[in-house]
Chain A
Amino acid sequence: MSRDILFEIEAVDRTYVDANDNMVEALKNINLSINKGEFISIIGPSGCGKTTLLRLLAGLDVPESGKIRLSGEEIGGPDPTRGYVFQQSSLFPWLTVEKNIASGLMARGVYKQRKDEIAGYIKLIGLNGFEKTYPHQISGGMAQRVAIARALINHPVALLMDEPMGALDAFTRADLQDKLLELWRENDTTMILVTHDVDEALYLSDRVVIMSPRPGRISEVLNISLSRPRQRSSADFTALRNSILEKLHLVSEIQQPEYTI
């Protein structure tokens, strides 16, 4: 791959103190480069620091040591160039669907100049007719699509997603995955997805980063060269899935409920 590097993560450590006053090494010596325009997934058991890594990329958290650079420049605080989609529904409950998407523009003070674009994003996520509804009146899948649109309207170079489909049912999830691929293809945005769903990671990503816990570190980075559109039932897909599950020491420990197989 000869594409430009977007994020450079260099020897990043992050420790925090948990509720019982124990030091937890959330991340230890993380090194990773993320290419411009790629779809990369970070996968691993809970407690492996994948969310912490994503928050560092967003600027919502600061590394203890090491550097994170975006296009060569060290990142500061949160910025609309790095859109973020949270795990749980994060829409503002007091704003309608339309206004929630608009809040992406309002927060930066560019609402007046660009409010005409909102309708396009509503269409993009397929929520026509739901403009005036409030978040509690729509389903979880719709809410996550609104959250994605709200982040995308700022034209981010990268969209960071923290298990955005974790709380959704299987059908809605498959649907949203296809929507995500469609958005990725149309916008040329770098997609960084944290997930614990091996299938999801395989279905979507160019590369899969496997992390292991205590301390959180990267154990392997896999290139996924399956041709798109991918078939979940194809032999290659299944073989890859099994090998990843094996790497996660899962095939022998079926009782682990963390993973959706």
Chain B
Amino acid sequence: MSILKQRAIRLANSSYVQKDALPSRFKPGRQGGNYTPAIASYIGLSAISLSGFFIALLVNLFFRQTAEADINTYPLGSSISLTADEAYRFVLAVLILIYGVAAVYSFWREERRKQFLSRVPFRFVIGLALSLWDILGTKLLLLPQPFFPGPSRIIESFLMEGDYILQNTLYSLRLFTVGFTLGVAFGVGTGILIGWFPKIYYWVYPVLKITGVIPAVAWMPFALTLLPTPFWAAAFLIVICAWFPVAFLTAQGIASTPKINFEVAQTLGAKTPYLVLHVAIPHAMPQIFTGISSANGFAFTTLVMSEMLGQPGGLGYYINASKVWSAYYKVFAAIIVMAVLFSAIMKVIGAIQSRVLRWQRGLVK
């Protein structure tokens, strides 16, 4: 084929990107989001979405309990009492209800419908997995015990000592909030100083680079000796581990502000405070948030580890205390609480971030 002809063909095809050149997640299709379902199929698919949990519920109800099990009844309030299995079914029912409401809520808007449907296979498989886990972990007791309890056994720990779990959760939450907020505040503060003043950069930046990579829990012995209470010792460790990435990235963001931005502000009459507060800091904001998200991850790790090493409470403490009694179902319960709590915290930070960085919308993918 002549070169000219090849070029002509390429030109003719160049109006859209060739599909094979795209990674699969950009291809149109059910996951790609170009798929608009009809109303009838939306209802059908929503039903499938819920049916996984429904199957799990039926399995728990009708699959014969062949393995031996203690069935304890826990009073809830004055009139109701529940067994672990009933509580598990109640949770499944709540899940069905939540997703049912979500399905109805999403029905009225096309993009919400698409979003809801994108998770249909996932929810269905989760339901099946719960059923399988229930059969293997509770009904037949085929999983090695006590390490892998069934779902109802895990829920049982909430029935047994829900108050105590809540107490420990609040302890963790308080420790995290104090440590993380202080760490981010110090991090942004020192980051601005390092990024703005060359002298501070010269003296502090190397120290930051060297000490920052040390896992914060390594300082635990010092923290416990030097600080008055275990709470503040752990808070101190969280401060350190959050401080490092935030300070590092803030400094980078400040230092990388293009000269033209400062010159523009100067020709408009700006003095140093304006240059720092309204030019350098807004420019650094995306990087500050990158620092905050990685600090977030470090802070979770440090939180749980320091709780395991010597705190009078908290989810890490609860895991440790339960492990001593081989109460692995309680360990799982604590893990589930952590998963929910940490996801919620990340959601909150994500919401703040997208609010502060709303100017980036459409600019960055």
Contact = CB atoms under 8 A, between A and B. Distances in A.
A102 to B, nearest CB: 11
B363 A83 contact: no
A173 B82 CA distance: 77
A139 interface: no
Nearest to B275: A107
Contact of A104 (B268, B285, B359, B361): B268
A107 B269 contact: yes
B362 A60 contact: no
A88 B260 contact: yes
Interface stretch (A14-22, A43-51, A74-82, A183-191): A74-82
B104 interface: no
B229 interface: no
B282 A60 contact: no
Contact of A151 (B260, B268, B270, B285): B268
Interface string B254-277: 000000110111111110001000
Interface residues of A, number: 29
A132 B268 CA distance: 21
A134 interface: yes
Nearest to A105: B268
B279 interface: yes
Interface in A78-117: 78-80, 82-84, 86, 88, 90, 92-96, 103-104, 106-108
The size class of the interface chain B forms with chain A is: 20 to 34
Describe B's contact surface by its main secondary structure.
Answer: helix
Contacts of A96: 359
A134 B265 contact: no
B268 A86 contact: no
B279 A78 contact: no
Contact of B363 (A58, A93, A106): A93
A203 to B, nearest CB: 26
A95 B279 CA distance: 10
B215 to A, nearest CB: 35
B260 A107 contact: no
Pick from B264, B278, B279 the residue with the most CB of A within 10 Å: B264
Contacts of A90: 260-261, 264
Interface in B330-365: 359, 361-363
A72 to B, nearest CB: 21
B266 A92 contact: no
B283 interface: yes
Given A60-B263, A92-B279, A94-B283, A80 B359 contact: no
A86 B322 CA distance: 66
Contacts of A93: 359, 363
A11 to B, nearest CB: 25
A86 B264 contact: yes
8 contacts: A60-B263, A77-B266, A79-B267, A86-B264, A92-B282, A103-B268, A107-B278, A108-B268
Interface of A: 58-60, 77-80, 82-84, 86, 88, 90, 92-96, 103-104, 106-108, 134, 136-137, 150-151, 154
Pairs A-B, 7 closest by C-beta atoms:
A80-B269, A107-B270, A108-B269, A84-B267, A107-B268, A78-B266, A94-B282
